[in-house]
Amino acid sequence: MLAALWLVEGYDSPLLRELAGLTRRQSTEARQMFDAVLAELGHPVRTITTPYDELPWRGYWEQIRWAVDQMDKTHTAYASAQRVLEVLSDVPDLWGPGRGTDLVDLLEQWNEHRDRRNELTDRIRTHLRSLREGDVPPLA
């Protein structure tokens, strides 16, 4: 269906025409052809050459790195910690290496103890800056 739509929109290649002619029962063949069709149309799929590129959490870790980088530039330490917690919650395999429970405890203390906010903000900063991608074990 997608291949036929691309043909209607003006994209054309021999493999795309062949893909458009496949039936639903030939879905395995269609999946196998898809990368070749994209390459033929000038949009090759990037090949993965290192195991690092295959790690599913890598894109999420970039979000953590960004939140820490933005801390005290455009975000408060508390806001950066909230963003990190969102990511850790989305990817259960990162909760442990990101020490999510400790971070939740820090934010709860920050909310409950107004008189200690400066100290707790410093502890939040220290926690966020201590997060290392290398602490994440290989995922199965």
Shared domain for 35 and 57, answered yes or no, is no
Contact at 8 Å (CB) between 101 and 123?
no
The alpha-helical segments, DSSP class H, found in the chain are 2-8, 14-20, 27-40, 51-54, 58-70, 77-90, 92-95, 100-112, 117-129
Domain shared by 59 and 110, yes or no:
yes
Q: Domain range spanning residue 76? A: 53-135
Q: What's this model's pTM, rounded to 2 decimal places? A: 0.59
Distance of CA 3 to the CA centre of its chain: 28
98-130 pLDDT, tens digit each: 999 999 999 999 999 999 999 999 999 999 999
Q: Do 97 and 76 share a domain, yes or no? A: yes
